[in-house]
Amino acid sequence: ISQSLPPDRISQNLPPDRISQSLPPDRSSQSLPSDRISQSLPPDRSSQSLPPDGISQSLPPAMIVSVPPVFVVRPRNQVVAVGRTVTFQCEATGNPQPAIFWQREGSQNLLFSYQPPQPSSRVSVSQTGDLTITDAERSDMGYYSCQALNIAGSVITKALLEVTDVVSDRPPPVVRQGPTNQTVSVDGTVVLSCLATGNPTPTILWRKDGVLLGDTGMYTCIASTPSGEASWKAYLEVQEFGVPVQPARPTDPNLIPSAPFKPEVTDVTRTSVTLSWKPNLTGATPTSYIIEAFSWQTLAEHVKTELYVLKGLKASAVYLFLVRAANAYGLSDPSPITDTVKTQDIPPTSQGVDHRQIQRELGEVVIHLHNPTILSSSSVRVQWTVEQQSQYIQGYKVMYRASPEGQQRSDWAVFEVRTPGEDSTVVPQLRKGVTYEFKVRPFFNEFQGTDSEVKIAKTLEEAPSAAPRGVTVTESADNGTAIVVSWQPPPEEEQNGVVQQYKIWCLGNESRYHINRTVDGSTFSLLIPSLAPGIRYSVEVAASTGAGPGVKSEVTFFQIGEWRRTLACISLHPAEAHRAVTEGVVDPENTLDVVKQPAFIAGIGAACWIILMVFSIWLYRQRKKRSGLSTNYAGIRKGIAAASCPALNPPPLPKPSPYPNLLLLSSGTLLSARPNRRQIKPSKWTNLFGFSELQEEQSRNPHKRR
């Protein structure tokens, strides 16, 4: 056999200058060893011989060391807005340099890099192999395959194009600051504010449902643009007359944290992404963060770190995220929205396998779930046994949800175990002191098997991490020395268990005035009686679970006012004052506490000194003038303090006074309600001090007026 490679094949592989330089002259007449021939030619041609000139022309060294193509740059999945331009990059290397062409999945058309662009086509391939689609339409969605080919082989890869309106350069609107839950009294005024941003400026609408007392209900602020909608809800409660209402406190903007910087997305998987961000230190210090995903639903709250893994996302789904900072005074504005994120695709089902067979075998898998093991207040170990294994078990879905007693159950959350050989896992980030339901389900790609039985476990309780809300202190309407302390439970997510008790501390400025009370977890108010007037008290309230009391509320100070009831001694008859004491008009115990106050003692001392000085001056003038008192005189003398009213220390009861028109006020002032124009006999006049000197003076000068 003298067959050799034809000249046309030689010209297709290498240029003429490379053909003449392929072998040195001293090797141009050498023949190839038999083992080299058997490796280079197919079996049916392994015994063929080649002439020396054929060797030098048809088997240059470049052909012997051919390298299959290898991708240097692979295209990635992309999301583009309608009408925008998107480019898929694809680069490969090999020997010889491979040719790159593109093909849309389901289409027979091939797009090569050396093809000139068509005027009417929106799709083109550059010289470097990049695929560009201009003026994207929804019909362009799908997979695009990039293939690299040379004489040594070929490789192929593909990427998904999704055309949508949700993109980072024109995102949906965001509610910056929404309304807050409030409680107002009937006929009160309430303001619900809603501030939203977007491009173009969003339209604000309000919706309200429910009519408990006219305006009571859930109010929804809706911001809408052509890119989508965002909403924020607040509940307004209208209380009946007489029910204490805590007014909404205006928040100082300087006390609220500033918006965090733009979050970064890393480690994207089928069902999770990792978010990281930096806090903005120009505002108040944040204590936690809230993560939202479009359409701005809260995915995580009370996040304490600047790095967080969001789990339980949908595969092959597009997401946008933002972060808000929070502290005790409120929420910050939202952070800038992240770039568009698309979770990984669900791997295609193995080729050549009947889908019905996969589903049938998964349905026959029986899983027995063991009782969960409580590890801490926020984690539980779940363990199971698989009775009948299947080659189509790709992993397990551990499903769990909170199951509070007497409340509606939430949706199942999913924690995936992607190792078929595993039979246990630890479910983290659970709520403290909450009862959960668990079950396990096998899966293979998008196919899912039968659930195991449901098991229940309760995480360990901790002391509440938040104080009771809305603590108010009001004076009792029925008792002037009693107060009513009212409060609302801490936020449910921070109760860390079942609130069994509320502890109330009412502390005076001395230990003998301290009062501590405990009520059950279903009580939200307490009457504290018998408080001492003039004492400054402080009130604190804390919720208590099985792990003990939690954070106390802010201190509320108050002071019972002075005794409000005026002591009135009708006429000068001391029996009336005595009756006021005996019948309860005056509380001697409370009066004693008032008398012991330093301010009261100093005031009494000053009053006595003034009375003594006035009396001395009066007595001096009387002796000097030797003038009598007029029989029509009804004088006003001031300033007999405790001695002027015997209510505090009743003396022996004298005979009734012959002058019932005189009224002694609580201040000790003697008044004449109706002067008697007739002459009063001196023998029947006795002053309040019991002196008889006035009688003698009047007897000597009965007609002289002062």
Structural domains in the chain, sorted by start: 7-65 (no CATH), 68-164 (2.60.40.10), 174-342 (2.60.40.10), 355-458 (2.60.40.10), 469-559 (2.60.40.10), 574-700 (no CATH)
Average pLDDT over residues 268-288: 89
**Per-residue pLDDT, 687:** 44
Give 484: exposed, middle or buried? Use CB within 10 Å, 0-12, 13-18, 19+.
middle
Average pLDDT value over all residues in the chain: 74
**Per-residue pLDDT, 17:** 42
For the whole model, what pTM was predicted?
0.34
How sure is the predictor about 568, in pLDDT bands with cuts at 50, 70 and 90? Answer: very low
How sure is the predictor about 352, in pLDDT bands with cuts at 50, 70 and 90? Answer: low
Average pLDDT over residues 614-640: 64
Residue 47 contacts residue 3 (beta carbons within 8 Å): no
Average pLDDT over residues 589-593: 52
Q: Cα separation of 217 and 234, whole Å? A: 9
Give 345's contacts (C-beta < 8 A, 6+ positions apart).
77, 160, 270, 315, 316
Q: Is the pLDDT reported for residue 567 higher than 60?
A: no
Average pLDDT over residues 536-546: 94
Average pLDDT over residues 536-552: 94
Share of the chain above pLDDT 70, in %: 68
Higher local confidence (pLDDT), 330 or 454: 454
Matching residue, tokens 């022996």: 652
Count of beta carbons in the 10 Å neighbourhood of residue 61: 10
Residue 329 contacts residue 350 (beta carbons within 8 Å): no
Q: Cα separation of 416 and 412, whole Å? A: 13
Q: Is the pLDDT reported for residue 633 higher than 60?
A: no
SS3 labels along 433-484: CCEEEEEEEEEECCEECCCCCCEEEECCCCCCCCCCEEEEEEECCCCCCCEE
Q: Is the pLDDT reported for residue 307 higher than 50?
A: yes
How sure is the predictor about 222, in pLDDT bands with cuts at 50, 70 and 90? Answer: confident
Q: What is the pLDDT of residues 147-159, one digit of tens each?
A: 999 988 899 999 9
Give 335's contacts (C-beta < 8 A, 6+ positions apart).
259, 260, 261, 262, 263, 277, 322, 323, 324
Give 538: exposed, middle or buried? Use CB within 10 Å, 0-12, 13-18, 19+.
middle
Residue 701 contacts residue 628 (beta carbons within 8 Å): yes
Q: Is-cis flag, bond preceding 574, omega within 30?
A: no
Average pLDDT over residues 15-37: 39
Q: Is the pLDDT reported for residue 500 higher than 60?
A: yes
**Per-residue pLDDT, 524:** 95
Q: What is the pLDDT of residues 652-685, one digit of tens each?
A: 444 444 444 443 333 333 444 344 444 434 444 4
Higher local confidence (pLDDT), 467 or 173: 467
What is the DSSP annotation of 253-304? Answer: GGGSPPPPPPPEEE---SS-EEEE----TTSSPPSEEEEEETTTEEEEEEE-
Least Cα distance to 315 among 353, 348, 338 occurs for 348
